[in-house]
Structures are given as structure tokens and as C-alpha cells.
Structure 1
Amino acid sequence: MSENPKSNLTPPRRYDDPSTKIWSLYLEQAERDNARMTESWKGDMDAILIFAGLFSASVTAFIIESYRNLIPDNSDTTVILLAQIYRQLSNDTSLTTIPSVARVLDTNAFVPSNSTLVCNILWFLSLSMSLTTALSATLVQQWSRNYLQETVGREIPYQRARISTYLYEGLTKFHMKSIVTAIPMLLHASLLSFFAGLVLFLQPVNARISYFILSLLLATAVLYVLISILPIFYFDCPYGSPLTKIWWRILCSLQLIVRENSKGSSSPVPSNHPLEKVREWEATNISYERDERDFRAICWTLEYSPDDSTLELFASTIPDVVAGIDYSAKLLCRRMLDRDDPSMRLGFRLTRLLATCTIDSVWARRRCTVTLSAIWSLTMMSLPMPNTPYSEQLQPFMNRGTLRFDEHTIRSIETIQRYIPDASPHYLSTATVIARSLLDMFSDHILYLETELLNFARTGTLTERYHKLVSKARKNTLRRRGPRSMMDRIDKEAQNIQQRLDNTEQRIMLSASTYMSLDSLFLNLDDAVVAVLIGNKEEIPPYIQEILIRLTEFQTLLRQASFLLMLEFVEHILKGPSLPHEAFNTTRRLYLRLELDSHREPYPLHSQIRLVGYVDDALDLQNYHLNNARGQPAFQMALSTCF
């Protein structure tokens, strides 16, 4: 008889049900929680078994010594009888205090003292509770193993899930968690009974030692009450005891536990809310205290993980954080940039991390790309300041103190670009937004300096900053340059910068030297203001007018530099082999920061001609190079948004 070939085929699985994936999701979470719960029970019961075993042995040793006081002592009876015989033989009438022979031989006449009786009751009770605790711990371990075996004993997912749900609800119905919580309480009561019996046991032996043990017992009881109550009022308190949950339910039912919500109002905690849930709310709800904890945690992570791999991993998360909707995470990044310790500031460490990419390798390219993306995101991050305790520390305008990436970062980017040319799209966008922030900083400085001069010309008073600078300059006995020589120097530097901006053959806006020249020009303007203020009072008004004129010229240079920076970035978009990193957002940032006021001096004609040519190249599909075709849609979108 031939064998049926179909008999070797694997039978179809009967539990291929559409709901299998749903139950698999449930099982993934439920089995993880079950394993965590039973593992916690097992650890607690193991510790209880060890302690209960050692404690029971200790109590037994004391009971062996104390239970003898509950029965008549034969040695005392022998002494009394001998004394009675001695009195009769010697006719010594002085031994009148010897008990009668009938009383000595009557075992029913023996009555132990009250302290002895209470001491033995407490110690036998302590031993009973200790042994009961050990038995209960053993049973809990057995119940936990049975629970796990029943919940994972089926292969079909929906059966295993339903059995797990059924048994878990049984745990809740029969208060299994309460029983597990009560077992340590039984052991604590056993320990308390032992110490109370020890006080009574030592009372007839030595009163001083007994009082000393009593004081220790009272101190221990007070501490036990404190560690039971503190977690109820201080949710971050690590202490606790089995009585904590009992006190929690009692005080919640009396509405004595009040919790402050995120809006600042207080309300009593409902009695059906467990302490663990309220503690979770306090740790995760939005608050100033939570932001402070987050800041300390991340600072600790970066401070005690000095290796570059940890910082690289942290930097890889920054772009998603900046682009996300979590305001607290953005504020955390901003505060990491403003740390008090300069060596631990995020901007300094990211720049130093970028400097390690000096080898063209896989890890160096990855680290370079991650670091440049993080720097770009942090530079682009805009963060409106709410009314918070730390909002005053974060200035709304740009200055050298709040600028975390400057011309030194651009110089590092120029250096690394020679080692890893593959990351050119990230170099371009990152250097561009840093350059834009530098121009913003100079614009804010000029506006601030102009406001100071106009206020001084109108009121004759100085702000605290310039008052300190003037006082320091007057105390300086070194040779000072006169205002006129400083004006000539300013004019010369401004002329050199203007010549660089007018040179259409060079690409200077992504060079660190350009911003060093602008910074030098501004510092000379600031020094000129101080030199004028410490000079002859009659010459102050004319010089102030000259400085205001040069400030206006400086603003014109900054406007030209801003326009030229956007032109150079657009040129890279059109002529580069690939799109820069986040080309659309960077283009919008460059355009939105331009000053297009019609009352101001127009941009140079050659710059306007360049812009028109770039727009024609972007919109002319026939003349657009094929390799750059994928850059056209993004640039067209940017143009449509900006213009």
C-alpha cells in the first residue's frame, strides 16, 4: 500500500487569526509587567526568608533562657530543704524566713512574676510571627511560579492573553498585592515584640541596661513612624514601610493630601489614586522643578561621560528636539548652551567634537555630519521666553554673550572641510546660519550703541555698562589714542570691508576673516565712544554726531553683507553638485532677515543683477543642469515663499 504523499505536509496552524497581532501587542506588555512584578516579589521574599531564619534562631536562643523562669527551679527547692534540715538539727531559731516544706514541695504554689510572664508572651509571639512570615514568603514564591507557568503555558496567543487577563484580575480580586505587602509588616511586628520583651527581660537583671534598650526601642519606633509618613507628604522621599500605603489611604480619604497641578491651583488627591501614580505625576508633569531636574540630569550625563561617543549620541538627538513640539526639551538645549562652566557649554563641546574629525573615515564622516546638523539646529532654534524664573537669564537680543557659535566655529568648519569634503552640504548650511547670526549680533550691537548715544545726547546720563567703562578708562594711566585718530582708523577699516564686499570675484561671506574684520570695526567704534566720553566736554557733541554717522555706515555695510550672504548661498544651490542641508529653511532664514525697507539705501546694483540672474537660472528649465535638477523644486519653493 503506497504512502499518501500529503501525510508529510505540515498541517495548517489553526490559530492563524486576524486578532493574533492585537493579542501579541497585549502579551508583549503584559508578560513584561508580569515578569517585573513576580521578580520583585521573589527578591523581597528571598530577603525575608533569610532574615526570618536568622531572626527565628536568635529569638529561640533567648526563649531557651527565659522560659525557665516560668517553672519552679529545682535548685532553689534543694537549697530551701537543706536550710530547713540545718535549722532543725542546730535548733537555730534565727532562720525564720525559710518557707515551709509543704509550700516548697507544692508546685501549684509557684507563680512567675508579671515581667517574666509578659516577656515570654512577647518572645513566643515574636517567634510565631517570624515563622509565619517565613511560611508566607515560601507560599508567595510558590504562587508566583504558578502564576507565571499558567500565563505562559499556552502557545496560541489569544488563549495565553485571555488566561493572563483572567489570572491577573484574580490577583486584584483576592488582594494578592496587599498580602505581599502585609508579609514584611508581620516581620516588623515580630521584631518589635522581641525588643519589647528584651526590655522586660533585662528589668530584673539591670535596670540601667533595660532603660537604655527602652530608649533605643522608642527611637527606633519614632524613626519607623517617620519613614512611614514622609513619603506621603514628600513624593520624592525614598523611604517607606508597609504602613505607608495604609496611612496614604486614610489621609486621602480625609482629604489631607493636597497636590498642586500645572496651573498652580491645589486640590485634594482622590482616595482611589495610589501613591505610585501620584509620584509618577509629580515626576513627569510640566513644571519649573521638572525642567530643573532635567537640566541637572543631562548636565550630569555629559559631565561624567567625557568620551566623544556620548556627546555624539546626544548631538544626534538635537535636530529632532529642535524640530519637535516639546518646549521643555528645546529650553533644555538652550540652557545647555548657557552653562556657567565654559568648558562644559554645549557650544564649546560641539565645536571641539567637530575638531576631532580630521580623518576621512566612516566614523569621522558620520560624526562630522551629526555635529554640523546639531550646530545648524541650535543656531536656527528660536525660543520665545515665557514668564519663568530663568527667563531673565536668556536675553531676547543677540550679543557676544549669548552667541554660542561664532567666527571661530566657521574657521573650524573651513579646516574640517578640507579633510572630509563629502559633508559639503552640511558645511554650507551650518556656516551660513552662523554667519547670519553674527550679522544679527552686529546689527543688535549697533542699535544698542546708537540708542546709548542718543540717550546721552538728550539726558547727559550713561547706563551702568558705559559708566563702568568710562570710569575704568579714566583710571588707566597708559597712553590713549585720541578720538580723531580712532575715527581715521574706523574709516580705514570700513573702506577695506567695503572693497571686499564690492569684489564680485571672491566668495567672502562664508570666510571667518570677514566677520573678524566686522568685529574689529565694531570694537573700534565702541572704543571711540569711550574715548569721546572721557575727553573734553565741549568736543563731545560733534564727535557723537560723527560716531552716529559711522554707525549708519556700518549698518549699510551689514545690509550689503546680509544680501551678499544670501546670494552666495543661492549660488551654491544652483551650481553645487547637491542641495545643501535644509536648503529651504536656510534660504527662508536668510531672506526673512533682510531689511527691505524702501526708505533705506538700496542694495548695490551688481548684487541685484546677480539675484535676477539666479532667479532666471532657477526658473529656466532648459538651461538648468541635469545634476542640479533635484535642487530646483526646493529652491523654487523657497523663492515662492520669500518673494
Structure 2
Amino acid sequence: MSENTRSNLSPPRRYDDPSTKIWSLYLDQAEKNNERITESWKGDMDAILIFAGLFSASVTAFIIESYKDLVPDNSDATVILLAQIYRELTNDTTLTMIPSVSKALDANSFVPSTSSLACNILWFLSLSLSLTAALSATLVQQWSRNYLQATVGRDIPYQRARISTYLYEGLIKFHMKSIVTAIPMLLHASLLLFFAGLVLFLQPVNRGIGYLIFGLLSVTAILYVLISILPTFYFDCPYGSPLTKIWWRILCSLQLIVRETSQGGTSPVPPDCSLAKVREWEATDISYERDERDFRAICWTLEYSPDDSTLELFASIVPDVVAGLDYSAKLLCRRLLDRNDPSMRLGFRLTRLLANCNIDSSSAWAKRRCISTLSAIWSLTMMTLPMPHTPYSQPDLQPLVTRGMLRFDEHTLRTIEIIQRYIPDASPHCLSTAAVIARSLLDMFSDHILDLETGLLNYTRTGNLPERYQKLGLHALKNTLPQSDPRSMIDRIDKEAWDIQQRFDTEQGSMLLASAYVSLDSLSRHLQDLVLVVLIGDEEESLIYVKEILDRQNRFQVLLRQAGFLLILEFLENLLKGSSLPHEAFNTTRRLYLQLDLDSSRQPFSLRSQSRLIRYLDDALHLHNSHPKNRLPEGIINIALGLLRGVTDLECVSKAKGIVTTYTKVCESAPNFEAAREALASLNSMALPEHIRPKEVLDIFSEHVYSNTKLTRAASSDMSTSITSKDGDHQFGRIFEG
């Protein structure tokens, strides 16, 4: 028979059976577990062998000296014989107390002292236990090697798996782990016996030294008992002894060990539950203590890892944490943002890390680090919307919503401008990150002005000025003495507001740049100074300026509303111009949209802004676009259709109606068809006179802003107060919903 025929007739290899994949899964875990157990045993036995060898040598040295007290001393018989000879030679009658020579030479008449007998018994027992522990440790090492060799001795996976299971169950059946645990107990008992024998050995020599050693032995015994018991009551206690497991099982069987549950109650630990399992529960169960430990651990990591590589790795993890379902991890990120220490404050360090990317902007690591950092900043900004109340603010020293609550502000925007200039590949991430930071700044300005309005209205109604406003007012007077006259401050505010309005009307600059928010911040600060200076001034004079101040605050809110509309328009423009969508384009657009006030009862957006929206919508819905890749996803198109609620100019409404009508006729099967029909209905109502216009709201999105983070701002009762100005009724109540 030829060689080829033999190969064709040979039976298939048994380990090619597909079922071996099942056993491979088992072996991956079983072999790791076997190695972990045997390595642990080997380490313990090595330490026991070293200690047992040194200890046995020490005990042997003491036994050599003490066992002499157990046998007759020939030197005593010699002394008696010499004394007897001296008495007979000298006839000295004074030596009458000499024992008889026959008794001295009789070995059977020797009786050792009780202390010597007890001392030697204890020391010989100590030596025996020490040698037994050494022998047991040697045997355990041999058993461990045999066990590992037997479990890996076959090539076929299912044979190796079944042998491993068979032998592992043998370990459990014959209580191998208990035997390994008992070996250190032999050494501990041997050491205790040695100390007890040492006390008895020193008693005849010197009682003071004996009592000293007895006191040391007592303290050692008490400490040994304590370290054996403490882990059963304090699960995080690092101490323990071989007696700990015995003590643990006794207390568990009596149901004397209880632990707090995640619901706040207590429950006894099951009798068959090990201490290691309870420690795992205590470390991982949801609790306030666990969150505090997590926070301290990450703070330690950031504090002792000042290099940028560690922070870059942390930044790459942040987006997944924010988008995940672990709310404890989200809370951890929020607390790191609010940390006052610059070395551990996450917002400060991420901005600095982003700035460092500009050092070598051409390298691949700079691009990778830049994108990771921008993604982290985007995620954290989406998660940490400004809220009027936090446990970290100091309401007696500053307004409820302060710039200090924003971890990414104009400084971050300037850094992003530089990065976008020198690292063009990061432009999509720069665009989205700058947009959400800009929106957060607008939210902060809006909350700030609402807080000032609330204080002003409460003062006009009650005449009471809160203490924090008094402190802030004194601070404002101290720093604005040249302009403390309210009239001159109002004139300056009017000029700044006019400059900002001109910038918005002419579309000068970009809403993604820091310069726009520097101007808004300056106007916001001057409004705050004006309100505080007026409130702490003369009461009659203050009431004169209240209406003017409220009018300026109303104008500022209009500017903020216009800025938010321009911001989302600029973002849509970048979406249409770019060859690809920026980072998280849909969630960024939704964030900008949900924070935008489209209430048509307010002052309408500028005609130029409304025309831009119609133009962008036309580009987004154009069916014959020569660049199909520029078309927006359906979710963003829905948002663009929702922005039509802000269109009030009749000519713009007419153009929008034509665009949307054409889209509904041609794309009846498009996913955006229903949204387009609703937008068309809203436009039809806009074309009607205002007094008969139906109050329909196109609510495209009412879910959370991003990654299961829902932050709702409910306006207080003070904010819901209406006041009348020369421009008409103005409603101060607003509900910010994200």
C-alpha cells in the first residue's frame, strides 16, 4: 500500500472534534485558576520552610542547654566524693551535711525539677511542630507540582479538561485547602510553646527577666487574638491568622455577623459565605462609601501621575464613561471637574493637555492626543450643564450660577482655535467641542441674568436685600468707584449692547470664537454691577432705575437668544460645507437646538438670520445636489425643520413653505416626511395673522440631552413674575429642559 493510501485511510484526529472548542473555553479559565492556586500555595510554603528552618535551629540551641536538667550531673557526685575524702583526712566535724556517697552515685534517685521538666516538654513540642510544618510544606509543594503536571499532561483538550475537573474535585473532597491553611497554625503553635518554655526556663535563673518575658508573651497572645477576630467585624481589616477562618465560621453559623445592604438595611451573612466573598460585596456594592473610595482612588491616580501620557489615557476613557450606564462613574467625572486643586481638577488639566498638543503639531501622537482630549471635553461639557444649585457653590459670596461652575470657557475656546489652525485633522472635533462650550457659556449668561432679575424683583416687592447681595454690592462699589453713578453705568451698558447687536446683525465674526463671549461676559458683569450698586443705594433712588435695569436685562436676554440662533446656524453651515460630518454631529446639533428659545412671542430673530436658515434648509433638502455627501442625516434635517418655528418674516415663511412643500411631494417615502409635514403646518400657521395663529409647538425631541444625562431646570416662582415694559409684556419664567 502506498504512502498516500495510508494517509487517506488514517482515522481523523480526535482533537479535531468541534466539541473541543467547548472544553477550550473551560481550560482557559481552569488553567488560570489552577496556576493561581498552586502559585499561592508555593509562595506560602516557601515562606514556611524558611521560617521553620531558622526557628528549628534556634529551638535546638535552647534544648541543648535545657535538656541537661533532665539527667544527673556527674560533677555533683565528684564534689560529694571530694568532700567526703576531705572530712576523713582532716577529721572536720563541721562537714556533717554532706549527702551520702551511695545516694550521689545512684542515678535512679535523681528527680528533675518541675520547671525544668515543663520547659523541656514545651520546647521539644515546639521543635516537633516546627519540623512537622516544614515536612508538610515540602509535601504540599510536591503535591502542587504533581497536580499541575497531571492537569496539563495531555494534548487533547477534552481529556485534559476532564482530568483537571477530576483532580480539582479531589482537592475539594479531601480538603486540600484546609490542610494548607492548617500548616501555618503549626508554626504559630510552635512559637507560642517556645515562648512559654522560655518563661519557665528563666524563672529559676532570674524572676525579673522571667516576668518580663511573660508580659511580652501575654501581649503577643492578646494581639494574636485581636488580629484573628478583627477581620470578622471589620471586613476591610488587612490582618488575619489561620484562626480567623475558624472564628468566622463559628460566628456565621450563629448569625452574629451582619452587613449593610444596598437598600440601607442589614442582613446576616450566610453560614456558607466566605470572608473573601463578603469583602467583594462590600467593595463593589452601590453605596456612598464606595463612591467616596472611587473618588479618592482616582484623585490619587491623577495626583501621582503628573505626566501627560496618563492623563491622555484617562481622557480616552471619559467619552465611554459619560455615554455608559454607570452613573457612579459619571458622578466621579463630575466631582473631578469640581475639584478645587488644579493638580487634580480635570477641566484645568484637560485644557492644559490640549494646549500641549500644539508643541509638536505635526506628529501622530499630537493628533491622537488632541482628538482624545477634545472628545473628553465634548463629553464632559454635554454632561455638566450649568444648574442653579450645586453643593459646591457658596451662595453667601457669589451668585447662584457663576463662571466658576463652568470648567470649559473662553480660555478653552481660544485653545481650540489654535489647535484647529495647527492640526487641521482635528477640525471636526474642534467644531463640535467649541459649539457645546459656546452653548454652555450662553446658558450661564442666561441663568445669571435670571438670578439678577429675581433679586431685583424680590427687592422691589419686599424691600429686603439678601446678605449675599449686600456683600456683592459692596464689592462692586469698591471696584467700580469711577463708574458708580448708575446713569453712567447704564450708558456704558447701552453702548456695549449696541455694539454686540451690530455684530450679530452684520454677521461679523464667528459664534464659535472666544471674542464673542468676552463681549457678552463684559456686558453681563456690568449689568451685575449696576444691579448691585442700585440695590445697596438709596431706596427711593433705586426704584427710579428698576424699570430701566429690567429693560436692559430684557435686551440682554434678546441678545443671548439671537446668539444661540446664530450659533446653531453657524454649526449647520459647517455641516453643509464639510466633506464629512464632525464629531457627534447629531448630538451636538440637538444640544444646540434644545437650549434654543424659539418662542415666537418674543422679539423675532433678525431677518438676516432667518434668511440664512432658509438658505441652509434649501441646501439640506435639495434633491439634485451635485455633492450628495454634503446632505445631512435625517436626524439633523428634523432639527433644521424644527428651527422653522423661529421664522416670522412673511417672505421667509413663504420661501420655506415652497421648499418644504416640494420636499413633501417628491420624498413621500423619506424618513423625514412626517417632520416635514409638521413643519409645513407650523409655517402655514405663521402665515396667519398673529391674533388667530394657533399655538402649535413642533416638539421634535423631548428626551434627554445625551448619554442618559437628564438635567431639568425649573424656574422658581420669583422668575415667573411678569413685568410690563415699553416693548410689551415680558415673561420671566423659563423652563430649561435637556
Whole-Å separation in 2 of the counterparts to 1:372 and 1:621: 34
RMSD value, Cα: 2.1
Instruction: Give the structure 2 partner of residue 502 of structure 1.
Output: 505
Cα 1:476–1:564 change in 2 (3 A) is closer
Deviations 1:384-435 (A, max 9, x none): 99xxxx9733899853121110111111100111101111111110000000
Deviation for aligned residue 1:457: 1.1
Counterparts of 1:32-71 in structure 2, within 5 Å, are 32-71=32-71
Instruction: Give the structure 2 partner of residue 248 of structure 1.
Output: 248
Deviation for aligned residue 1:330: 0.5
Instruction: Give the structure 2 partner of residue 209 of structure 1.
Output: 209
Deviation for aligned residue 1:271: 1.1
Counterparts of 1:120-131 in structure 2, within 5 Å, are 120-131=120-131
Cα 1:536–1:383 change in 2 (3 A) is closer
Whole-Å separation in 1 of the counterparts to 2:207 and 2:281: 52
Q: What SS is found at the alignment partner of 2:452?
A: helix
Q: What SS is found at the alignment partner of 2:404?
A: coil
| 8 Å CA contact retained: 1:80, 1:99 | yes
Cα 1:236–1:384 change in 2 (3 A) is farther
Instruction: Give the structure 2 partner of residue 399 of structure 1.
Output: 402
Deviation for aligned residue 1:27: 1.0
Deviations 1:258-282 (A, max 9, x none): 1001111011111100000001111
Instruction: Give the structure 2 partner of residue 578 of structure 1.
Output: 580
Instruction: Give the structure 1 partner of residue 651 of structure 2.
Output: none
Instruction: Give the structure 2 partner of residue 642 of structure 1.
Output: 700
Whole-Å separation in 1 of the counterparts to 2:539 and 2:505: 39
Counterparts of 1:530-549 in structure 2, within 5 Å, are 530-549=532-551
| 8 Å CA contact retained: 1:583, 1:634 | no
Whole-Å separation in 1 of the counterparts to 2:537 and 2:278: 67
Deviation for aligned residue 1:598: 3.5
Whole-Å separation in 2 of the counterparts to 1:253 and 1:321: 42
Count of matched residue pairs:
636
Deviations 1:571-602 (A, max 9, x none): 11112121111111111111111112243222
Cα 1:394–1:577 change in 2 (3 A) is farther
Whole-Å separation in 2 of the counterparts to 1:134 and 1:274: 28
| 8 Å CA contact retained: 1:617, 1:624 | no
Q: What SS is found at the alignment partner of 2:267?
A: strand
Cα 1:472–1:99 change in 2 (3 A) is same
Deviations 1:243-265 (A, max 9, x none): 11011001111111110011110
Instruction: Give the structure 2 partner of residue 228 of structure 1.
Output: 228
Cα 1:602–1:467 change in 2 (3 A) is same
Instruction: Give the structure 2 partner of residue 447 of structure 1.
Output: 450
Whole-Å separation in 2 of the counterparts to 1:147 and 1:414: 64
Whole-Å separation in 2 of the counterparts to 1:383 and 1:272: 48
| 8 Å CA contact retained: 1:588, 1:642 | no
Cα 1:560–1:320 change in 2 (3 A) is same
| 8 Å CA contact retained: 2:477, 2:484 | no
Deviations 1:465-494 (A, max 9, x none): 211123445677954531111100000000
Cα 1:7–1:423 change in 2 (3 A) is same
Whole-Å separation in 1 of the counterparts to 2:512 and 2:618: 24
Q: What SS is found at the alignment partner of 1:98?
A: coil
Instruction: Give the structure 2 partner of residue 195 of structure 1.
Output: 195
Cα 1:391–1:44 change in 2 (3 A) is farther
- What is the letter of the counterpart of residue 612 of structure 2? R
Deviations 1:289-334 (A, max 9, x none): 1111111111111111111111111000011000000000101111
- What is the letter of the counterpart of residue 604 of structure 1? S
Cα 1:474–1:417 change in 2 (3 A) is closer
Cα 1:194–1:375 change in 2 (3 A) is same
Residue 614 of structure 2 is aligned to residue 556 of structure 1: no
Q: What SS is found at the alignment partner of 2:16?
A: coil
TM, length-normalised to structure 1: 0.95
Same amino acid, percent of matched pairs: 74
Instruction: Give the structure 2 partner of residue 438 of structure 1.
Output: 441
Deviation for aligned residue 1:164: 1.0
Cα 1:30–1:383 change in 2 (3 A) is farther
Instruction: Give the structure 2 partner of residue 96 of structure 1.
Output: 96
| 8 Å CA contact retained: 2:386, 2:405 | no
Whole-Å separation in 2 of the counterparts to 1:244 and 1:524: 69
Whole-Å separation in 2 of the counterparts to 1:265 and 1:93: 91
Whole-Å separation in 2 of the counterparts to 1:344 and 1:55: 49
Cα 1:638–1:157 change in 2 (3 A) is farther
Instruction: Give the structure 2 partner of residue 512 of structure 1.
Output: 514
Q: What SS is found at the alignment partner of 1:58?
A: helix
- Structure 1 window deviating more from structure 2 (532-541 vs 348-357): it is 532-541
Deviation for aligned residue 1:88: 2.8
Q: What SS is found at the alignment partner of 1:112?
A: coil
Whole-Å separation in 1 of the counterparts to 2:430 and 2:541: 49
Whole-Å separation in 2 of the counterparts to 1:445 and 1:391: 14
Deviation for aligned residue 1:517: 0.2
Deviation for aligned residue 1:570: 0.9
Instruction: Give the structure 2 partner of residue 281 of structure 1.
Output: 281
Deviation for aligned residue 1:624: 5.6
Deviations 1:61-88 (A, max 9, x none): 1111110100110001111122122223
Residue 449 of structure 2 is aligned to residue 457 of structure 1: no
Q: What SS is found at the alignment partner of 2:391?
A: helix
Instruction: Give the structure 2 partner of residue 4 of structure 1.
Output: 3
Whole-Å separation in 2 of the counterparts to 1:324 and 1:167: 42
Cα 1:502–1:477 change in 2 (3 A) is closer
- What is the letter of the counterpart of residue 391 of structure 2? E
Instruction: Give the structure 1 partner of residue 414 of structure 2.
Output: 411
| 8 Å CA contact retained: 1:584, 1:638 | no
Deviation for aligned residue 1:240: 0.8
Whole-Å separation in 1 of the counterparts to 2:607 and 2:477: 46
Residue 369 of structure 2 is aligned to residue 370 of structure 1: no
- What is the letter of the counterpart of residue 579 of structure 1? L
- Structure 1 window deviating more from structure 2 (335-344 vs 168-177): it is 335-344
| 8 Å CA contact retained: 2:342, 2:349 | no
Whole-Å separation in 2 of the counterparts to 1:561 and 1:501: 7
Whole-Å separation in 2 of the counterparts to 1:52 and 1:439: 73
Match of 2:469 among 466, 474, 481: 466
Instruction: Give the structure 1 partner of residue 348 of structure 2.
Output: 348
List gaps (5 residues or longer) in structure 2: 641-674, 676-698, 702-738
Deviation for aligned residue 1:39: 0.6
Cα 1:29–1:326 change in 2 (3 A) is same
Instruction: Give the structure 1 partner of residue 238 of structure 2.
Output: 238
| 8 Å CA contact retained: 2:59, 2:194 | yes
Q: What SS is found at the alignment partner of 1:392?
A: coil
- What is the letter of the counterpart of residue 532 of structure 2? V
| 8 Å CA contact retained: 2:465, 2:535 | no
| 8 Å CA contact retained: 1:379, 1:437 | yes
- What is the letter of the counterpart of residue 169 of structure 2? E
Deviations 1:511-541 (A, max 9, x none): 1000000000000011112222343332100
Instruction: Give the structure 2 partner of residue 163 of structure 1.
Output: 163
- Structure 1 window deviating more from structure 2 (364-373 vs 633-642): it is 633-642
Q: What SS is found at the alignment partner of 1:344?
A: coil
| 8 Å CA contact retained: 1:60, 1:127 | yes
List gaps (5 residues or longer) in structure 1: none
Cα 1:484–1:343 change in 2 (3 A) is farther
- What is the letter of the counterpart of residue 393 of structure 1? Y
| 8 Å CA contact retained: 2:303, 2:343 | no
Residue 140 of structure 2 is aligned to residue 137 of structure 1: no
